[in-house]
Amino acid sequence: MLSDIQIFWYNHNMNQPITSKVNEKGHLEIGGCDLADLAAEFGTPLYVLDEVTIRSRCREYKTAFKGRYDNTLIIYACKALCNTAVLKLLSDEGIGFDVSSGGELYIARKANCDLKNIYFHGNNKSKKELEEAVDLGVGRVVVDNFDELKALDAITQKAKKKADILFRINPGIEAHTHEFIQTGQIDSKFGIAKEKAIDAVKLAAKMKYVKFVGLHSHIGSQIFDIKPYIALVELLCDLAGSVLAETGIKCEDINIGGGIGIDYTGQDNVISLDAVASEIVEVFKNKSQKLGAPKLILEPGRSIIGTAGVTLYSIGSIKDIPEIRKYIAVDGGMSDNPRPILYGAVYDALLANKANAPKTEKVTVAGRFCESGDRLIKDIELPKAEIGDILCVFCTGAYNYSMASNYNRVGRPAMVLVNNGISSLILKREAYEDLIANDVVL
C-alpha cells in the first residue's frame, strides 16, 4: 500500500521537489509557496527546502525495508545538510544520525536527537571530539584506524566510561562515481584494510571499556549501480562470520554506508529505493543467517535531502558574446554551490517567474565570484531571460549549504522551509557583521 505522499513521489518530475507545480501566474510553486514571492520576501540567493519531500524520502526509505527486514535503521548523514530545524524534522521521522565532527554532534544535540542513534564518523577525529563522544555516550563511535582505537582506549579508561564501536572497513570495492567521492577503493585514506579487521577486533577485545559491536563501510557517493552494494553486503557479512568464528564475538551492527545517487538533470538513471531494499535485503538475509540477526544500517545523506532543496537567484546582468556564448549572471555561485567547480557537477534550472514560457535560448549561468570557473550551469536552454528574473536551480539540498563558503566575503544565503503555503525561515542570511564576527582587531 502506498501512502498519499509516496504516490505523489512516483508521479512527479524526479529532479524537483514533489510539491513543485506551476501556478496560475505561470510561476513555479513549491510547498504551496510562489518562488517569486519567496525571492521578494527573503531576498536572493535563497535556499528553499520542501518539507513534504524530506518527510516522504524518510518514509520511503523506512517503508522499503519494513517487512523485508525489520531490524533496519536509517541514519541521516548530517554532512549533506546540517541545520537545527532540519535535524529536528528528521528526528521526528524516526531517523538516526551520522555525525562526522564535534560541530555536527553539537547541532544534533541542539536538535534533541536521540544520542543512542548517533554514529560518530571521521578518519581523524580530534582527542576533544572523542572525549565528547565518550562523555555524552553517543550510540556508536565508528573507529577508522588503529591509532584512533588506541586513543579511544586511553580516553575511555581515563573517563571510566564505555564506548561501543564499529570498525570502518576499507572493502577494496570501487564504485563508479567521481574520483573525489569514491571511498571504498584500496588507495583511500578511509578505514582499516579488510585483511586487518580481525586483528583490530582482537585488539579491541583486550580493552576494558571499548566494546566492538559491528562493522561499517562507505563506498562512495552519487552511485547508480546496486552491484557494489551487493558486493559490500557479502563482504561485510563474510567478515562478520570470520570475526565470530575467530573471536566468538557477534556483530550487532552491519552498516553499509550511504551513497545512493539522485537525479540531478532529469535524465540520470536512479535506482528506486524499493529496488535497493529488495536486492540488499535478499542478499543480507541469506548471508547473515548465522550471524544472529544483526541490525542493518544505511546512512543516506543526498538521497534524503538533495531533491528537497532548490536555490533561487536573481539575474543581474546578461552578456552576449555573438556566435560564442550568452552569459546570464546570478547573485550567487561557487560560494553557495561549489559542486560544479569541484566535481563538474551538472544542474538543471528554470526561470521561476516564467515557468511555462517556451525555452528559446541556450545560455550559460555565471556566478558572481571572481573566477572564470564560477559557472553554475554550462549551456542550458531557458526562456529569454531578463534582468530581475528569478532562476531556480534544482537539487541543491545536499552538499550546497554544507560546503558553502564566504569567498569574496559574500555572506551565506538564508534558507526557508516550505509546507502548505507557509514559509519558515530556518537559517538567517549572513550579514556584514557576521563576516567580521571572529576578526580580532589589533
Q: Are 335 and 412 in contact (CB under 8 A)?
A: yes
Q: Determine if 125 is a binding residue for ligand LLP (CB under 6 A).
A: no
Is 301 within any annotated ligand binding site? yes
Per-residue cell: 394: 534544482
CB of 54 to ligand LLP, least distance (A): 14
Contact code string over 340-359 relative to ligand LLP, x by CB under 6 A: ---x----------------
Is 399 within any annotated ligand binding site? yes
Among 55, 287, 339, 375, binds ligand LLP (CB under 6 A): 339
The 10 Å Cβ neighbour count of residue 226 is 16
Contact code string over 217-236 relative to ligand LLP, x by CB under 6 A: -x--xx--------------
Query: What φ, ψ does residue 355 adopt, rounded to 5°?
Result: -65, -25
Among 31, 45, 259, 309, binds ligand LLP (CB under 6 A): 259
Among 102, 214, 294, 300, binds ligand LLP (CB under 6 A): 300
Q: Which of residues 104-123 bind ligand LLP (CB under 6 A)?
A: 121
**Distance between CA atoms of 134 and 5, rounded to whole angstroms?**
39
Q: Among residues 423, 358, 319, which one has the least CA distance to residue 42?
A: 423
Is 339 within any annotated ligand binding site? yes
CA angle 104-304-222, nearest 5°? 95
Among 47, 65, 399, 401, binds ligand LLP (CB under 6 A): 399
**Distance between CA atoms of 265 and 286, rounded to whole angstroms?**
36
8-state DSSP, 190:
S
Nearer to ligand LLP, 257 or 411 (CB): 257
Count of residues that interact with ligand LLP, criterion CB under 6 A: 23
CA angle 350-303-38, nearest 5°? 40
Contact code string over 20-59 relative to ligand LLP, x by CB under 6 A: ----------------------------------------
Is 246 within any annotated ligand binding site? no
Query: What φ, ψ does residue 342 adopt, rounded to 5°?
Result: -80, -45
What's at 80, amino acid-wise? A
Q: Determine if 303 is a binding residue for ligand LLP (CB under 6 A).
A: yes
Nearer to ligand LLP, 209 or 407 (CB): 407
Stretch that binds ligand LLP, among 15-23, 280-288, 300-308, 320-328 (CB under 6 A): 300-308
User: What's the CA dihedral at 125, 131, 134, 140 to 10 degrees?
Assistant: -10
Is 282 within any annotated ligand binding site? no
8-state DSSP, 93:
T
Stretch that binds ligand LLP, among 24-32, 44-52, 215-223, 320-328 (CB under 6 A): 215-223
Alpha helices per DSSP H over 193-272: 197-205, 227-247
Stretch that binds ligand LLP, among 39-47, 129-137, 347-355, 398-406 (CB under 6 A): 398-406
Per-residue cell: 181: 567521492
**Burial class (CB within 10 angstroms; exposed 0-12, middle 13-18, buried 19+) of 316:** middle
User: Helix, strand, coil proportions of the chain in percent (round to 5)?
Assistant: 35, 25, 40
Task: Decide if 237 is catalytic.
Answer: no
Query: What φ, ψ does residue 360 adopt, rounded to 5°?
Result: -115, -10
CB of 75 to ligand LLP, least distance (A): 8
Helix 227-247 vs helix 197-205: crossing angle, to nearest 10: 40
**Distance between CA atoms of 329 and 390, rounded to whole angstroms?**
11
CB of 302 to ligand LLP, least distance (A): 4
What's at 59, amino acid-wise? R
CB of 427 to ligand LLP, least distance (A): 19
Query: How large is the C-alpha radius of gyration of the chain?
Result: 23
Q: Determine if 302 is a binding residue for ligand LLP (CB under 6 A).
A: yes
Nearer to ligand LLP, 185 or 247 (CB): 185
Nearer to ligand LLP, 176 or 359 (CB): 176
Q: Which of 82, 237, 251, 370 is catalytic?
A: 370
Q: Are 233 and 256 in contact (CB under 8 A)?
A: yes
Annotated binding site for pyridoxal 5'-phosphate: 259, 299-302, 399
Annotated binding site for substrate: 302, 339, 343, 371, 399
**Residues labelled catalytic:** 370
Annotated binding site: 259, 299-302, 339, 343, 371, 399
Contact residues: ligand LLP, CB under 6 A = 77, 79-80, 98, 121, 181, 218, 221-222, 257-260, 299-303, 339, 343, 398-399, 403
